[in-house]
Chain A
Amino acid sequence: MTTAAIRRANSEPGWLRYLLLTLALGFLFFFLALPLLAVFVEALAAGWPAYRDALTDPEARSAIGLTLLVALCVLPGNILFGIAAAWAIAKFDFRGKSLLITLIDLPFAVSPVVVGLIFLLIFGAQGIFGPWLTAHGIKIVFALPAIIIVTMFITFPFVARELIPLMQSQGKDEEEAAISLGASGWQMFRRVTLPNIKWGLLYGVILANARAMGEFGAVSVVSGHIRGETNTLPLHVEILYNEYNAVGAFAAASVLALLALVTLAAKSIVEWRIRRETQMLAASLTPDRP
């Protein structure tokens, strides 16, 4: 059999290729492209001025502000935890490592509503610490602290999950070289580790940020939906939609959809950078096997 014949036998016949392509693109069109388009069409349905008014409304502005504030509070902790966990898991061997990796994945498996409920049971009026908190006049549930805590729980795995495989694949030769040449731990981290993981770290932060700004179920349980105070942007969308204010709801939704598009774009760029750096690294190393 000739190479061409094998290649022909190795690809689907023309009609099948056409059918599969149509199926795939049709599915993606109905489930991805059309909803994305609909957000913006509905948001601008009443024209540009109505869209602008919906976004400059004080409640919308407070919701945007709160959403940014929550993301800003949540991300630093996640970055520190992600780097620490990835450093321990990727560079050292210890007992219970796979259990630790599974536990890091835990927040992905738990329903957001259950996450909200858990923190309600701890900090709520009838919760474990409820009476003590009330006695000391500390408000956690139905206030900013609870929103931040549940968002931390929900976005907890993102940075660590991106960094662990990346740091595992990079090995520890470079860091060991730095240490044996007399670098301090901090110097090694800043000069060797951080430059190596910066794109993976950024990738994890982008994903965590998207989730932090978009989280709905968990935040909805603990926020109390106080307008202008504890309403994040996704909750603002819900309230307006339930009031049949479609333009307002979709205007706020369009901000979140834009955030999603920026996230996807940034993700693609970062993935491309990681791929390119891996290729450059592979090309610069002389193969030690013939």
Chain B
Amino acid sequence: MPSTRPRPARVLPGFSLSLGCALVYLSLLVLLPLSGLGFKASHLSLAEFWEIATGERALASYRVTFGASLLAALINALFGLVVAWVLVRYSFPGKRLIDALVDLPFALPTAVAGITLATLYSSNGWIGRHAEAFGVKVAFTPLGIVVALTFIGLPFVVRTLQPVIEDIEPEVEEAAASLGASRLQTFLRVVFPGLLPALLTGFTLAFSRSIGEYGSVIFIAGNMPLISEITPLLIISKLEQYDVVGATALAVVMLLISFVLLLAVNTLQWWAANRHHGSARPKAGGKP
């Protein structure tokens, strides 16, 4: 930093104005509406709420939503690590183009992703045709949900890992190698522990996005109650049957889960930030 001399506080103008604007906008658009959901839900007694939230169809929808999201986030954690590693460490033709393409799931509207994946994986689609030859049905089964959620969550792990891999100082790996560690040992004992917080952050981000995802899933899922019906879709079908109370109860459940996941992401990012600064020191190679 160029200078560290003490300054009188708040030389700059506009603190009250900017903070005031931000708080008013945030309150009107986000906080008040969210508390409206709590207000509506408070008309329900706890017993009624529990009955709706643990109904057979609701429980089945949690199973589908969480199971598919978990599986998709795991696939993304594994392949995301490989993709991020390859994009940072290797050079190959078209690398910058491919790097830019990783953000496609952020930029492509979910409905477009949904109809495209459903078409690709249906029994006469480009991929579904070959999968069905092996007896694997993807579209209109829970497996289709996993495919859609893998697409949606793809950028999260790659984008959280990339800067961390870029920041690994070569000396650390060189030290490990010169002390006689094999490449695998260096990766597992030196590199991987430094990547773990970012990997977990990316995993949780992908998971949390998948839980609430609707647009890309409904086209490929088949949407059979108890089998391939995700919770957001159950909320919509309750609304379509004018069961506003039931939809509200399920929305509260989803909102609570979102808050828990948001908290988890923040904790992980805090951990990653601290851990990452600490891992710059070459501390491995202690054991052969």
Contacts and interface: CB of A to CB of B under 8 A. Distances in A.
Interface string A114-158: 100111111010101000000000000000000001001100100
Contacts of A110: 34, 212, 255, 258
A17 B183 CA distance: 12
Interface residues of A, number: 106
Given A88-B19, A94-B19, A27 B111 contact: no
Interface string B75-117: 0000100110111011010001010111111111111110111
Nearest to B107: A260
Contacts of A120: 239, 244
A104 B110 contact: no
A242 B12 CA distance: 56
Interface residues of B, number: 94
A221 B247 CA distance: 12
Of B111, B113, B117, chain A has the most CB atoms within 10 Å of the CB of B111
A267 B155 CA distance: 14
A118 B92 contact: no
A260 B173 contact: no
Interface in B21-52: 21-23, 25-26, 29-31, 33-34, 36-37, 39-40
A267 B83 contact: no
A77 interface: yes
Of B29, B254, B261, chain A has the most CB atoms within 10 Å of the CB of B29
A26 to B, nearest CB: 9
Q: Is the interface of A mostly helix, strand, loop or mixed?
A: helix
Contact of B18 (A17, A88, A257, A285): A88
A103 B13 contact: no
Contacts of B112: 39, 214, 234, 237, 253, 256-257, 260
A-B pairs, top 8 by smallest CB distance, nearest first, are A111-B212, A214-B109, A216-B215, A9-B177, A217-B214, A85-B22, A260-B107, A185-B13
